[in-house]
Amino acid sequence: MRPLFSRTSVAIVRFVIAVTFSVATMVVDVRFEALSFVRQALKTSLWPIEKLASAPQEFSRSFAQWLSFRVSLVGRLESLSLDNERLKTEQLKLQTLRAENAELRRLLSVKERFSEQLLQAEINRLSNDPFIHRATINRGFLASVKKGQPVLSADGLIGQVVAVYPHASEVLLVTDSTHQLPVQVTRTRDRAIAIGVGLLNRLELRNLPDTVDMVSGDLLETSGLGGRFQSGIPVARVIDVIRSPGQPFARVMAVPIAQLSRLSLVMVDVSTEGSR
Amino acid sequence: MTFLVTWVASLLLIAAPFPAFMAIALPQWGLLFVVWWSLMRNYQLSITLLTFSSLPIDVLYGTALGMHAFIFALLAYVLTLLGPRVRQVNLVMQSVVVFFVLLVASAVSYWARTLTGLDPEFYILFTQTLASAIFWAPMRYLFERISNFTGEAGADSS
């Protein structure tokens, strides 16, 4: 093979060609999103490498489960049985409430709001890039996952599907610095946009009027504006409201309800159409 | 063959799941891969190969396609020019050089990320660069072993 760069003008030419190609690729990918098929093909071909890379973690997890004592398993089983009984009772109440709600909505001619069909998925890996909050889940378009569908945990919303491959999908977490989410305060119905700031335990609501009625502890849920998420999905809890004297706007800090750094099982709302 | 094996080894390190709190101190495996090839085997490497080998790294990190190609080209250019002098110094001094070169690459990466809509914090790139410089010696050893194993050891391997 020829040398990579020699001490001649050829070196500069090769460098310029490489830089031009890479910048053009970046622009085409980010600005026009025209390289999704390349990304999809690469992601699919990288699947064996991802499986191999996560094999030690899978093995240690299985080994730890195998080592669990029977006693602790029996205790856990009892606790889960109790939880199950409690949830069954609550589900009965919920069914009654749902029926009442549907009847009231029918009387008011309002469309049924909740029609979710949840698909369970497992998080394979989080991006190792600290500035990109993306997770790869083990369900792809072969399991009816589509781009734009919301992804939830048992606690609340964690993000949305942004790329779909045959056996996997990429989920953009709500805390990513490119993610913005229309939310409302459960208590007052005040609306705002929750912006990710690149920290797994932080969301921010900016440019709110200084007089906004928000206090620490308020629950933020999806407002349904924008049509991507159903309304009423819990997202975050307000931890601080910053009102600077002389400034017209207040800043609100919130912490996501779902523990994003410890997630393993999630659910994809496959009843939502998705953008494509 | 050496290129393929070292590339796959780097991809495995990039794809390996680490706890979220470790992300700020994870070495930049992809950049270390380029550093080794540019310093130790630049006469065996082509820029086309380097550019295309960077695309899967973009996919694994979730960055814009072409971002790593851009940084790889920059690193390869700088290190190929510095190569003969850097190869003659000891490993500690090499790590220092690698630290400063990767710091420049991180600054470029910071700028590119800002252009693609991200809001990175530079101190994380700094800690990752420091971790990369610390890992330069083990990474170099690993790649030399791979090179010896595949029977394509360079003239300067020891």
Provide the pLDDT for residue B90.
85
Indicate if the pLDDT at residue A5 is higher than 60. Answer: no
CA–CA dist A160, A145 (Å, integer)? 11
B97, B85 contact by CB (below 8 A):
no
Provide the pLDDT for residue A254.
92
Find which of B70, B85, B128 to mutate to test the A interface (most A CBs within 10 Å of its CB): B70
Whole-prediction pTM:
0.71
Contact B55/A57, CB-based, under 8 Å? no
Indicate if the pLDDT at residue A209 is higher than 80. Answer: yes
Question: Which is more confidently placed, A102 or A216?
Answer: A216
Indicate if the pLDDT at residue A3 is higher than 60. Answer: no
Contact B26/A128, CB-based, under 8 Å? yes
**Min Cα separation A194/chain B (Å):** 16
CA–CA dist B38, B77 (Å, integer)? 8
Indicate if the pLDDT at residue A4 is higher than 60. Answer: no
Longest CA–CA span in chain B (Å) reads 44
CA–CA dist B65, A38 (Å, integer)? 9
Contact A198/B119, CB-based, under 8 Å? yes
Q: Is A117 helix (H, G, I), strand (E, B) or coil?
A: coil
CA angle A239, A243, A247 (to 5 degrees): 145
* ipTM of predicted assembly, 2 dp: 0.81
Contact B69/A127, CB-based, under 8 Å? no
DSSP code, position A264: -
Mean pLDDT of chain B: 82
Confidence of residue B158 (pLDDT cuts 50, 70, 90): very low
Strands A118-126 and A265-269: antiparallel
**Min Cα separation A88/chain B (Å):** 35
Residues of B in contact with A164 (CB under 8 A): none
pLDDT digits (tens, 9 = 90+) for B26-84: 888 888 999 988 888 877 777 888 888 889 998 888 888 888 888 888 888 888 888 77
The residue-averaged pLDDT of A226-243 equals 86
Q: Quote the strand ranges of chain A, DSSP E.
A: 118-126, 134-137, 150-152, 157-164, 169-173, 180-185, 191-196, 203-209, 219-222, 234-243, 249-256, 265-269
The residue-averaged pLDDT of A39-68 equals 82
CA–CA dist A232, A31 (Å, integer)? 32
Chain B, residues 96-155, CB within 8 A of chain A, namely: 112-113, 115-121, 124, 128
Of the ranges A59-63, A97-101, A233-237, which is most confident? A233-237
Question: The tokens of A39 are what?
Answer: 């990304």
Contact B61/A42, CB-based, under 8 Å? no
Phi, psi torsion values for B125, nearest 5 degrees: -65, -35
Indicate if the pLDDT at residue A110 is higher than 70. Answer: no
The verdict on B93 touching A (C-beta cutoff 8 Å) is no
A42, B56 contact by CB (below 8 A):
yes
Question: The tokens of B112 are what?
Answer: 């590119």
Indicate if the pLDDT at residue A104 is higher than 50. Answer: yes
Provide the pLDDT for residue A6.
55
CA–CA dist A259, A261 (Å, integer)? 6
Q: Picking from A14-23, A253-262, B54-63, B118-127, which range would have the lowest pLDDT averaged per residue? A: B118-127
Indicate if the pLDDT at residue A205 is higher than 60. Answer: yes
pLDDT digits (tens, 9 = 90+) for B17-33: 887 777 778 888 888 99
Residue of A nearest to B49 (CA): A4
**Min Cα separation B71/chain A (Å):** 9
**Min Cα separation B5/chain A (Å):** 12
pLDDT digits (tens, 9 = 90+) for B95-145: 888 899 888 888 888 887 777 666 667 777 788 888 988 998 888 888 888
Confidence of residue B157 (pLDDT cuts 50, 70, 90): very low
Provide the pLDDT for residue A113.
54
Provide the pLDDT for residue B108.
84
pLDDT digits (tens, 9 = 90+) for A160-182: 998 888 888 889 999 988 888 99
Chain A, residues 163-182, CB within 8 A of chain B, namely: 170, 177-178
Contact A4/B42, CB-based, under 8 Å? yes
Q: Is A166 helix (H, G, I), strand (E, B) or coil?
A: coil
The verdict on B46 touching A (C-beta cutoff 8 Å) is yes
Contact B50/A4, CB-based, under 8 Å? yes
In order of A98, A172, B10, B42, B58, the CA distances from B83 in angstroms are: 70, 40, 21, 8, 26
The angle that helices B47-61 and B29-40 make with each other, rounded to 10 degrees, is 170
Q: Picking from A98-112, A125-139, A200-214, which range would have the lowest pLDDT averaged per residue? A: A98-112
CA–CA dist A170, A87 (Å, integer)? 31
Provide the pLDDT for residue B94.
85
**Min Cα separation B20/chain A (Å):** 6
Residues with Cβ within 8 Å of A134's Cβ and at least 6 positions away in sequence, in order, are A126, A127, A162, A170, A171, A172, A173, A176, B62
Alpha-carbon dihedral of residues B85, B108, A28, A179, nearest 10 degrees?
A: 140
Contact A4/B8, CB-based, under 8 Å? no
Indicate if the pLDDT at residue A126 is higher than 60. Answer: yes
Indicate if the pLDDT at residue A93 is higher than 50. Answer: yes
Chain A with chain B: Cβ pairs closer than 8 A: 164
